[in-house]
Amino acid sequence: MTSTAATHDSTPTTSAPAIEAVFEAILSEIVRGHYPTGARLPAERELSRQLGASRPTLREALRRLGEWNLVEPRRGSGVVVRPMREWSIEVLPAYLKWGRPAPGQSTIARMMVDLLALRRALIVEVCRLVAPRTTPASTAAARVALTRAWAARDHHARFQEEDFQVMRAIVEGAGFLPAVWMLNRLSGVYLECARAMSGAFKPPADYIEAHTRFLDALERGDADTACKTIADYLERHDRALVSALEVFA
């Protein structure tokens, strides 16, 4: 009896790949605007038939979409698409991939520029907060990640992962747990967006030099110099990236 139940739970229709495929299919349709704000998704039986999925698989995919604030069940209306302003940041990579902005919404190009600007502002302000709490010992892991990132500069995905770990190691070393948790939440979004730009751009030649100056300033508690150094680096990096992608504000 136990063996039969275990076998049933592992059937392909409720496997992680099956759930992911259904999740991606509905996500792409919402982001493309096929199901606009306020639209009701097809009834569960019909949607299962359309997607060739079991109803347990569909329910799990819808639950995940609900976690991203894309849909919500409404009494008497079924599952309804929520307004874009309520969506979670996790939607961003999918929007960059499939989005079809309506009139009055930001274009994909504009969103890329805005995303880079938001990243710069976030990093600079976090660095200002952690500078008084940073010591040579607390930057050791960041320097190791920096070296690993540069060694992986010709392998885009690995470089992005290690580069992300530099900032994570800085805030973790400073004991700034809210920032660590925030970065944990954003890591998947950041790396998905970075993978979407794979091959478009390589790190600047002064990557190690600029970050070393930045870390040295943090260790001295010199927030102004640290913030200016990393802001200058990111602005140069982002201008070059935008140019490489032929994305203009």
- What does the pLDDT look like over 132-166, one tens digit per residue? 999 999 999 999 999 999 999 988 888 989 999 99
pLDDT of 1 strictly over 90: no
Domain positions in the chain: 2-88, 108-245
Answer yes or no: are the C-beta atoms of 240 and 200 closer than 8 Å: no
Confidence at residue 186, expressed as pLDDT on a 0 to 100 scale: 87
Q: How far is Cα 210 from Cα 224, in angstroms, rounded to an integer?
A: 15
Q: Is the pTM of this model over 0.85?
A: no
2-88 — its CATH code?
1.10.10.10
Confidence at residue 112, expressed as pLDDT on a 0 to 100 scale: 80
More confident site: 142 or 193: 142
Q: How far is Cα 139 from Cα 180, in angstroms, rounded to an integer?
A: 14
How much of the chain exceeds pLDDT 70, in percent?
88
pLDDT of 25 strictly over 90: yes
Q: What is the DSSP string of 90-158?
A: GGHHHHHHH--PPTTSPPHHHHHHHHHHHHHHHHHHHHHHHGGG--TGGGHHHHHHHHHHHHTTTSHHH
Question: Which whole number is the average pLDDT over 29-56?
Answer: 95
108-245 — its CATH code?
1.20.120.530
Q: How far is Cα 118 from Cα 105, in angstroms, rounded to an integer?
A: 18
Confidence of residue 11 (pLDDT cuts 50, 70, 90): very low
For 212, half-sphere exposure in the C-beta direction (CA atoms, 13 angstrom radius) is: 6
